[in-house]
Amino acid sequence: MKRQIDRSRIPVWAAILICLGVWLCLSDPVNDAGAQPTAGSLSNSQEVLAVVIPCKGMIDDGLYKSIRRRCDQALAMGAGYLLFEMQTYGGLVKSADDIAKYLILDVGKRAHTVAWITTEAISAGAMISVSCHDIVMLEKTTIGDCAPILMGDTLEGVEREKQESFIRATFLRAAEANKYPAPLLKAMVTQKIEVYRVLNTKTNSWEYFEGDALPTDEKLYNLGGKEKIDSADEILTLTAAQAKEYGIAREVVQDLEGALSFLAARDKITFSPKRIVLTTTWSEEMVRWLNSPVVMSILVMLTMLGVYVEFHTPGLGLAGGVAVICLVLIVCSKYLIGLANWIEIAVFVIGLILLAVELFLLPGFGIAGFAGITCMIAGLFGMLIRNAPGEVPWPTDRWAWQTLLDGLVAISFGCLGFLILAFFLAKRLPKSKLFRGLSLAPVPAGPTLPISIVAPNPAASIKVGDNGKAITTLRPAGQARFAGQVVDVVSEGAFIPAGSEIRIRAIEGNRVIVREDKA
């Protein structure tokens, strides 16, 4: 005899296995290109290894983690030059600042960094580019425009200055470290800055000044020939040719080989003929995708929807499995970009366990349930804020508040989507063909029996076996007369016409059961 399998539980086990697979794949990114060659196999002692690290798309925490991994990998190979291929319109200021500090304070001390701009380096992309030792641009590319913006908000007055002052400081740090014209970098951030270039007649070189800081020494500077580079109503954005002319880009070339040839000639080195490109892994791209606001909203919505459907259908099935998978993806994605520490995850899991105990083991809904919900909310709140493992997860600066707000907005849209779908499912779910087989149909009701509110006469001396006459049609309830007393009775079986002779078959409390006496 074959063992019966409870198929309603298969999706739950499948969900658990999928979650384990997701955790293993995402928590330890592997290089899709396979085993990496060693430094010795790439170059000899006279050649310098150059490694290209693409930096494309949205600047976010996932990209920051990926750049750190790829830089460590390139340095382990023995790379002397790191070329960051820039193709981005910007992203999160906090993530860009993390990358910029990493390039200046860490990687820049171990290798020569080059921003290799192949399309555009706008906003946060410009911040990363100027944090490299050199900027080399492909023809007809652009750089600049790093004025801060907030989604759904307008920055004015003191609020804008607070935002811009931090970004200006980041650009000035890069200008000081890598010898870029500071006024030009400031003009990429702040709109109300005029920038002029004035020829130094002693050195025969151009120098850059803000409008309120122009030099006055006519013997040293050709003040009559000053040239306005940026006006007060513009945010500075430069083409490749302009960036080269104004000293932002070291060179403008046609391809990667041209960039390497320029660097080799200037620095008097020989590059290895090997061309190594370290791209992001599929798992890193997946983590970045999962942390996007739109996907986060969808995951929250599917988690809540799965729980809702699971509680409205018998057993443990597909809906519960979907909810578990989405919940694991939310937690794992936050952990892998550094927003969630083990403390927040532990608090969230404890809350989940307490809620499960309340729902499945304890009667009613009490302390364990409320404590579980509180822990889950606290854990999820902590996962939206970057903090060290020993720190309380609370936003300490404007960028942390913005990250928290973005996360809360994503969760809010997910909740709104759930409420809309739940309202729709509440009307459609019981009638749909998909879910009709998951619930029991109601048992058809039997025939409606008239119930009399007239109780048997307690004074009537009746007993089993007494004979009487039906005074109403018994359908099956009605009235009969026994020894001159009218009593409410119920016929046993078929209907009995009025006037028929009857006999008491049984007495059950106030219920008198009769049958027709055909003798």
Torsion on CA atoms 311, 314, 317, 318, rounded to nearest 10:
-60
Q: What's the mean pLDDT when you consider all of the chain?
A: 81
- Do the Cβ atoms of 504 and 487 come closer than 8 Å? no
**pTM metric for this prediction:** 0.67
CATH 2.40.50.140 placement within the chain: 467-516
pLDDT in tens, 106-162: 999 999 999 999 999 999 999 999 999 999 999 999 999 988 776 555 656 666 777
Whole-angstrom Cα distance, residue 314 to residue 497? 48
- Would the CA dihedral through 400, 90, 114, 61 be positive or negative? positive
The structural architecture, per CATH, of the domain 467-516 is: Beta Barrel (2.40)
pLDDT in tens, 328-366: 888 888 877 776 777 888 888 888 888 778 777 766 667
pLDDT in tens, 269-286: 999 999 999 999 888 888
Instruction: Give the H or E element holding residue 348.
Output: helix 342-360
CATH 3.90.226.10 placement within the chain: 31-151+160-189+236-282
Yes or no: is domain 31-151+160-189+236-282 CATH 3.90.226.10? Answer: yes
- Would the CA dihedral through 376, 380, 386, 392 be positive or negative? negative
Q: How many CB atoms lie within 10 A of CB 348?
A: 24
